[in-house]
Amino acid sequence: MSLAARQMLIAAIVGVLVVLVVVRLARQDRLSFRYTLGWIGVASIGILGGLVVPATEPLGRVLGLSGASVLGLTALIALCVISIQLSISISILQRQVRTLTEEIARRDHKDAPVESLKPTP
């Protein structure tokens, strides 16, 4: 088996494994539908990525890399972009939790009896 064929086979196997793991996490309700679709999309690109390796050879020659290295670098950049997007989502959720917690504290303080608000000597 040629090197290119092995690379395509490995990319396809890894992609299928990622899809299986993502589907399992989604079925266990540990991954939301939005992220399930996103990761299945990433895995699908990985599955098809093996077919793209020969097309990346010209760019690889310009950069002084192999086609597989160009594909790996592209995957690394894509994962970094996904990580940044997830960090933004988490930051937004943390801000929403803080705002809700402050609002609940204000409502609890407003509803508290006046005697409980006086300091004890």
Instruction: Write out pLDDT tens, residues 59-108.
Output: 888 989 887 788 888 889 988 998 999 899 999 999 999 999 999 999 88
Amino acid in position 120: T
Token code pair at residue 103 = 């609002």
On whether residue 117 sits in a domain, the answer given is no
Cα-atom radius of gyration of the chain, to the nearest Å? 25
On whether residue 25 sits in a domain, the answer given is yes
Distance CA 39, CA 65 (A): 27
User: What is the residue range of 13's domain?
Assistant: 3-111
Domain count for the chain: 1
Cβ atoms of residues 43 and 19 within 8 Å: yes
On whether residue 10 sits in a domain, the answer given is yes
pLDDT attached to residue 51: 76
On whether residue 118 sits in a domain, the answer given is no
pLDDT attached to residue 118: 61
3-state helix, strand, coil in the chain (%, to 5): 85, 0, 15
On whether residue 19 sits in a domain, the answer given is yes
The answer on pLDDT for 27 being more than 90 is: yes
On whether residue 119 sits in a domain, the answer given is no
